[in-house]
Amino acid sequence: MTDTVQIKYNKGFAYITIIGLLGLLIVTSLIEVKDKRGILFGDAWIILLLLYCFYKIFLPMLNGRVAMELTDTGIYDYISKQKATWENITEIRKVSFGKGSVGIAIVIADTREFINDKRFVRKLLCYYNNFFYNTPFIIPMQFLAGSDNEIIEVVQNYFECRKLSTNIANSTRLA
């Protein structure tokens, strides 16, 4: 199998996020308050969040960048800059978290090695995911363009084909 599947950033999510944050910034700026220090502090946080979302979600979407990629070697999540090889993946399933949020749970065989390769904040998120969802690697679906069920189906089918081709290759080596 030499096919590569690429899934781009979700345009709707990017636009809604930026417009929502801009609206929140405008509303907080228009509020009449005697002591402006509290509002300015809140505005500063909203501006920082807006810049972060613009850089991490909106610009990649505008540039047509890939959010997730399935290759012969593994699965790459460019949103959170994580990857896993097919040999280290045991299962792919759909998980629900929050209110209506869905993600792709990539069940890792060697979770300790996977988590130890991460930096401090990412390690904490991996431990959290591993505690609640039994896997440290979850790709949130709201960032991906396409139907949730179709994306899950494509990833699961790719994984099954990859697993099948690995089993066939192993059985021919043994023969």
Residue 25: per-residue pLDDT: 82
Is 15 part of a structural domain of the chain?
Answer: yes
Residue 154, token pair as written in the block = 């494509």
Same structural domain for residues 86 and 161? yes
The one-digit pLDDT tens for each residue of the chain (175 residues) are 558 899 998 888 888 888 998 888 888 777 766 666 666 666 788 888 888 888 888 888 888 889 999 999 999 999 889 999 999 999 999 999 877 889 999 999 999 999 998 899 999 999 999 999 999 999 999 889 999 999 999 999 999 988 887 665 555 555 5
Residue 40: per-residue pLDDT: 64
Is 4 part of a structural domain of the chain?
Answer: no
Is 137 part of a structural domain of the chain?
Answer: yes
Burial track 54-85 (b if 16+ CB lie within 10 A, e otherwise) = beebbebbeeeeebbebbeebbbbbbbebbbe
Residue 66: per-residue pLDDT: 92
137: phi > 0 → left, psi -120 to 50 → alpha, else beta; which?
A: beta
Same structural domain for residues 148 and 92? yes
Residue 155: per-residue pLDDT: 93
Q: Is the torsion defined by CA of 39, 45, 51, 56 positive or negative?
A: negative
Q: Which helix (H) or strand (E) holds 87?
A: none
Residue 141, token pair as written in the block = 């679906």
Backbone angles phi, psi at 68, to 5 degrees: -145, 140
pTM of the model: 0.79
Same structural domain for residues 90 and 165? yes
Q: What is the pLDDT of residues 134-145, one digit of tens each?
A: 999 999 998 899
Tally of domains in the chain: 2
Residue 85: per-residue pLDDT: 92
Query: What is the extent of the structural domain holding 89?
Result: 67-174
Q: What is the pLDDT of residues 70-84, one digit of tens each?
A: 999 999 999 889 999
Closest CA to 97 of 155, 148, 156: 148
Same structural domain for residues 129 and 87? yes
What residue ranges in 51-133 does DSSP mark as E strands?
Answer: 66-70, 74-77, 82-85, 89-97, 101-108
- Distance between CA 65 and CA 63 in Å, rounded? 6
